[in-house]
């Protein structure tokens, strides 16, 4: 008797086919949306401590906001119009830009040179690399006190050295340009090593084969530095310039501690070294307590930082393009 075989494929249970499809959907969901969950904490914190204070500060700047008063009437852009016509504000802007230029340009150039030196085969390289960071971790108050003594008019060591080469004593706190130089020296001493380590980390990521090929072609160390190192460090240089711009235009602690006395927030008797942040503090808190006016200063400082940072980036791109054209020749 012949047995008839059933050629139809076996029927799989419904729950077995549904489970893999559910896992596939979960895998797709995880691949698509999990990266947003990973970065969400940063944006939440940035929104609470970054975006919200910016918006609230702008709202306060549109009011006559006295910290000691209960009423805060809306006055529109009156604080801004008054600020743009304030000679003390523009005086502080010039001071800020002057200190920024004098401190940042030599600082980044010195950091680049120092990083190139630390990138060579030196004895105790780790010790030297750690040593350049010591000024940055030193207390700002202690640094300011030491530099205030060094730049003292009567008994300061800087004037003592200048006297040996025939230059008369300089009143570093009462002279506007001299106070810029003194504060810039303090800033450079603190932050040059920090930027040097940033440049050093970027230099170590450059392939050594490029330097070996350049050496075989007869390129000197200086030629290798300007033709290989500097062009490949361009992203890092842009980063350092932007960070230095933000920090330099927000300078507060160094000039505030450099000037002593009962009204040191003015930056000297004639506001010789008062920066924008010091002027903002003077108006927003003691002795004026005009929080609306101080908020307007904060927003104009924000705009100033954005403009100066954009100009710096454009200049670096122009210089980088010119360097590439010169190198191609």
Looking at the chain, the number of H-run helices and the number of E-run strands are 16, 0
Q: Is the dihedral of CA 79, 81, 87, 93 positive or negative?
A: positive
Q: What is the pLDDT of residue 41?
A: 92
Calculate ∠ Cα 81-87-93, nearest 5°.
Answer: 95
Q: What are phi and psi of 97, to 5 degrees?
A: -65, -40
How many other CB atoms sit within 10 Å of the CB of residue 310?
Answer: 12
Q: Which residues pair with 290 in a beta bridge?
A: 66
Tens digit of pLDDT for each residue in 262-273? 778 998 888 999
Say which residues have a Cβ less than 8 Å from residue 207's Cβ, sequence separation at least 6. Answer: none
Q: What is the pLDDT of residue 291?
A: 92
Q: What is the pLDDT of residue 324?
A: 54
Rounded Cα–Cα distance for residues 164 and 157 (Å) = 11
Say which residues have a Cβ less than 8 Å from residue 228's Cβ, sequence separation at least 6. Answer: 206, 210, 211, 214
Helix (H, G, I), strand (E, B) or coil at 81: helix
* Residue 170 near residue 162 (C-beta atoms within 8 A): yes
Rounded Cα–Cα distance for residues 165 and 220 (Å) = 37
Q: What is the DSSP letter of 66?
A: B
Tens digit of pLDDT for each residue in 168-197? 889 998 899 999 999 999 999 999 999 999
Q: Which residues pair with 66 in a beta bridge?
A: 290
All residue ranges of the chain with pLDDT < 50 are 1, 14
CATH of domain 80-319: 1.10.3720.10
Q: Is the dihedral of CA 294, 295, 297, 302 positive or negative?
A: positive
Q: Is the dihedral of CA 138, 141, 142, 145 positive or negative?
A: positive
Helix spans in 47-77 (H): 52-61
Q: What is the pLDDT of residue 1?
A: 47
Rounded Cα–Cα distance for residues 267 and 178 (Å) = 13
For the chain, the helix, strand and coil percentages under 3-state DSSP, each to the nearest 5: 70, 0, 25
* Residue 305 near residue 249 (C-beta atoms within 8 A): yes
């Amino acid at each position: 008797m012949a047995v008839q075989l059933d050629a139809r494929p076996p029927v799989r249970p419904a729950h077995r086919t549904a489970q893999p499809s559910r896992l596939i959907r979960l895998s797709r969901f995880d691949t698509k949306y999990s990266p947003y969950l990973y970065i969400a904490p940063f944006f939440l914190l940035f929104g609470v401590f970054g975006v919200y204070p910016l918006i609230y500060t702008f709202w306060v700047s549109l009011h006559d906001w006295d910290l000691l008063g209960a009423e805060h009437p809306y006055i529109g852009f009156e604080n801004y119009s008054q600020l743009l016509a304030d000679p003390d504000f523009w005086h502080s802007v010039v001071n800020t830009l002057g200190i920024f230029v004098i401190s940042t340009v030599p600082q980044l150039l010195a950091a680049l040179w120092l990083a190139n030196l630390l990138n060579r085969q030196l004895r105790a390289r780790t010790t030297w690399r750690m040593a350049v960071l010591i000024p940055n971790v030193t207390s700002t108050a202690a640094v300011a006190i030491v530099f205030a003594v060094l730049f003292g008019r009567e008994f300061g060591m800087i004037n003592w050295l200048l006297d040996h080469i025939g230059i008369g004593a300089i009143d570093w706190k009462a002279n506007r340009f001299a106070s810029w130089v003194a504060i810039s020296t303090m800033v450079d001493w603190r932050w040059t090593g920090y930027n040097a380590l940033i440049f050093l980390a970027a230099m170590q990521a450059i392939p050594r084969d490029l330097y070996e090929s350049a050496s075989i072609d007869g390129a000197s160390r200086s030629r290798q530095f300007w033709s290989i190192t500097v062009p490949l460090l361009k992203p890092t240089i842009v980063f350092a310039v932007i960070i230095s711009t933000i920090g330099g235009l927000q300078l507060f602690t160094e000039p505030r501690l450099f000037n002593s006395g009962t009204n040191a927030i003015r930056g000297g008797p004639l506001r010789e070294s008062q920066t924008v942040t010091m002027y903002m503090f003077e108006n927003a808190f003691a002795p004026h307590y005009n929080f609306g006016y101080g908020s307007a200063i904060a927003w104009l400082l924000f705009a100033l930082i954005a403009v100066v940072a954009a100009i710096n980036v454009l200049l670096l791109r122009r210089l980088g393009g010119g360097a590439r054209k010169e190198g191609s020749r």
